[in-house]
A and B are shown apart, each in its own frame.
Chain A
């Protein structure tokens, strides 16, 4: 079975974020990027499938700063192949804009299954998996927490609210939005990364334009400040001081 796993970098959310001048995106100049946590789960799941069912795994990502490193990590973890999809300038990074590019890459690779992290900070509603599946005309399921291969079928476990879950049998080819892998992502030792330092990650060029017309963000804004919220200002010490005295006032601290 051939598996493609899609990897994305997300801004580190514990950092202070700054907006671009037109306030329609975050300023990526100073920001730290890390693998989308759900994509990390997808990668682990793909490796588990390789280990248990001999799946052939290809990791793909859209070419950008830090992506080469991301894909090397995937290689170090054990994927068979890593490719970066090279695009001209990317302005809109919404899932809607990128889905056709991923779909084009997937058509080229012809896998049986595509695994995508169920959400990401720029894919808040988990729309990427259905968009890609729709573009390809494949079966699709999201919020998946377990994954097995049986002959030419896949068995997945889909989570519902209230702690219920269903085991679904899906025909391939399929696109799966994965929530958690069967086991937590393992650490990849630096020695494996070091051995890959000089490896070049090949490009996969595709001939499709991003879907730019349908959706786009026009503005990013902080939530409205309603009455009752207190915004603390100042440096760390000053803020701590204010929080402390507020807690004291309310009787939570002495």
Chain B
């Protein structure tokens, strides 16, 4: 290396760093003006997550082909980084070499091996993107991926040719630590690349290598591949609050103590904006999204991409057709109303991007402006005047109790062990009322000391909050908290998983801490403790659907399964089960909106999945809304002969029946 070489490489490197830094700064500077958010608590837990999802590729490997190829490229990158250090180290600081620590022996061998692994990984990626073309890539920017493949290949090829030329210069003998380069050298020698020609060739490929790396560096900040740098912080700063607790609306920085809605990008938190810049466009979220599968305009991937492109347009870095306000402009209203808040996207995203909070924030903006899905408007108005979605007077809430064989306690007047928070569907929907009565009888038989709130109960507001009506949610929640605080009880029992989530996770931010249990957990307790005696068992094969707000949100995967198998049933889980469960389509207020435009309702998609198992004729559910959704789906599909929808309560009732 001559002095002029050193000078040139210094200039190039500093120049490239400045350009790359400038390109990054323009993209990341909006974060400085965004809403504040503290995400530094529990640093060890945060680091552990980073290790699991970056180091071990935990989430990525859920998609095995892509996970493996990504792991191959990832490790190769780490190993080949030593070659980059070598190239730049020697260029910037003449005399620098990795040789003393094995740069020409074991490190060299690793570089050679992983150059091969890199080719294989990129080859698999290319095969996947251009030949297999999974649906989840639809909407991702293909050209960006292509450019990156080319740059990676260029970096590795130039490296190998540089080493090959060096070997050719030294006479072309086989170097056991550089098998691929030796092979290249032998070809070069054959073509007469020896001596000084080989030396020049080596210099040429050295510069080509350096330039390819610098091009990569400059390209990265504007590409989805900046995730190389953003993924670790993005995972580190992931939310550690309960999964079912939505963030509050943004605070008004001008009028203190007031909240506002998201209108401009800076009304999002810095983490929300960081999310959009970290998205890899991998489409895993799109693959699992029930709204996308039903043909709705929502894809969580394009939602994040559109927010990002909107942000970049706002910064003058793109010229896309995006307009403010964000809700209704950058992101269309129908897109926002399509989400069931099922959380499948967040659970699968390898980068831990938070889609649902953004969707809810934007729905809040629509609600505040009074722009709301027409059918939803009717329901929310009903909540405002009656406290339930059925438009029924509060007094009618406990009418179903007339069908009980005993007198149920009024928890507002007497202390009880278990306060049963029944919920809207279980109280008012005639199809579910039967199950509510059955559950009441089971509790009575088991000798549980329980009572209800009668007309004191209002809807818990879980889904109201998710439709974006924060004020209405607070009114419902405060009403319930006032009622609950005037009662004496040990635990709350809920029929509805959505209620479980609201009382357990959402009310905490309003200062209320309750021990809440879902009926699937409670019935399992009663059976397990022998308070409900199983008399008849069944050996039928059944499948079970995990409700989003019981499973994915609150981890209630095992109790329903234990209960089912303890009654003798063979449980045949569907492919999409537990945290990968597929939403019925009712959540997030969707149950109150129009679904007539869908190509295929998520509930129908799900029933087909159950039927495809081949050996089940019962579809077991643990949520009042599922009873409604899946019965409708079975009817629409005309599959009443093939499969029946049964609630856990029915299974237990049948199992303890002592009539002959």
Contact = CB atoms under 8 A, between A and B. Distances in A.
B471 A191 contact: yes
Interface in B327-374: 367-368, 370-372
A187 B372 CA distance: 7
Report which residue of A12, A15, A69, A191 has the largest number of chain B beta carbons within 10 angstroms of its beta carbon: A191
Interface string B385-420: 110000111011000000000000000000000000
B384 A193 contact: yes
A191 B472 CA distance: 6
B258 to A, nearest CB: 10
Given A12-B391, A14-B391, A187 B396 contact: no
A191 B470 contact: yes
Contacts of A31: 393
A69 B381 CA distance: 12
B377 interface: yes
Nearest to A186: B370
Contact of A187 (B370, B430, B475): B370
Contacts of B372: 187
B384 A190 contact: yes
Contacts of A191: 368, 469-472, 474
A66 B385 contact: yes
Contacts of B380: 187, 190
Nearest to B467: A190
B393 A189 contact: no
B177 to A, nearest CB: 68
Contact of A190 (B377, B393, B396, B475): B475
B282 to A, nearest CB: 36
Contacts of A197: 475
B276 to A, nearest CB: 26
Contact of B471 (A15, A34, A73, A194): A194
B473 A190 contact: yes
B472 A189 contact: yes
Contacts of B473: 190
Chain B interface size, under 10 / 10 to 19 / 20 to 34 / 35 or more: 20 to 34
A30 B393 contact: yes
A31 B395 CA distance: 9
B632 to A, nearest CB: 14
Contact of B474 (A30, A73, A186, A194): A194
Contacts of A193: 384, 471-472, 475
Contact of A189 (B391, B396, B471): B471
B31 to A, nearest CB: 27
Contacts of B472: 189-191, 193-194
Contacts of A73: 384
Given A188-B370, A189-B368, A15 B385 contact: no
A197 B482 CA distance: 15
A31 B385 CA distance: 13
Interface in A169-206: 186-195, 197
Given A189-B469, A194-B475, A34 B391 contact: yes
Contacts of A30: 393, 395-396
Report which residue of A29, A73, A188, A189 has the largest number of chain B beta carbons within 10 angstroms of its beta carbon: A189
Contacts of A236: 430
B471 A195 contact: yes
A34 B384 contact: no
Report which residue of B381, B393, B475 has the largest number of chain A beta carbons within 10 angstroms of its beta carbon: B393
Contacts of A154: none
Nearest to B431: A236
A189 B370 contact: yes
Report which residue of A15, A32, A192 has the largest number of chain B beta carbons within 10 angstroms of its beta carbon: A32
Contacts of B393: 15, 30-33
Nearest to B376: A187
A189 B383 CA distance: 12
A29 B430 CA distance: 21
A191 B371 CA distance: 14
A73 B367 CA distance: 15
Contacts of B395: 29-30
Nearest to B373: A187
Contacts of A66: 385
Contact of B386 (A14, A32, A190, A192): A32
A14 B469 CA distance: 25
Contacts of A189: 367-368, 370, 469, 471-472
A197 B371 CA distance: 23
A15 B428 CA distance: 12
A21 B290 CA distance: 52
Given A15-B392, A195-B471, A236-B430, A33 B384 contact: no
Interface in B461-492: 464, 469-475
Contacts of B381: 34, 187
B391 A32 contact: yes
A34 B469 contact: no
A193 B367 CA distance: 13
A32 B430 CA distance: 18
A88 B377 CA distance: 35
A37 to B, nearest CB: 11
Contacts of B391: 12, 14-15, 32, 34
B467 to A, nearest CB: 10
A195 B472 CA distance: 11
Contacts of B471: 189-195
B506 to A, nearest CB: 15
B370 A34 contact: no
Nearest to B380: A187
A187 B377 contact: yes
Contact of B367 (A12, A15, A187): A187
Contacts of B396: 30, 32
Contacts of B384: 69, 73, 190, 193
Given A30-B396, A187-B367, A187-B370, A69 B385 contact: yes
B471 to A, nearest CB: 3
Contacts of B475: 190, 193-194, 197
B337 to A, nearest CB: 13
Nearest to A197: B475
B391 to A, nearest CB: 5
Contacts of B367: 187, 189-190
Given A15-B392, A32-B391, A32-B393, A190 B474 contact: yes
Nearest to B475: A194
A135 B169 CA distance: 112
Contacts of A14: 391
Interface in B232-289: none
A195 B471 CA distance: 8
B267 to A, nearest CB: 15
A29 B395 CA distance: 9
Nearest to A185: B377
A135 to B, nearest CB: 31
A231 B391 CA distance: 26
Interface in A59-113: 66, 69, 73
Interface string A1-29: 00000000000101100000000000001
Nearest to B390: A32
Contacts of B377: 187
Interface in B25-55: none
B385 A190 contact: no
Contacts of B385: 32-34, 66, 69
A188 B383 CA distance: 12
A33 B382 CA distance: 10
A34 B385 CA distance: 8
14 contacts: A15-B393, A32-B386, A32-B392, A32-B393, A33-B385, A73-B384, A187-B377, A189-B368, A190-B464, A190-B472, A190-B473, A191-B474, A193-B475, A194-B475
Given A187-B372, A191-B469, A194-B471, 5 more contacts: A14-B391, A32-B393, A33-B385, A190-B464, A190-B472
Nearest 6 pairs of A and B residues by beta carbon: A190-B472, A191-B471, A190-B471, A186-B370, A194-B471, A32-B393
Interface of B: 367-368, 370-372, 377, 380-382, 384-386, 391-393, 395-396, 430, 464, 469-475
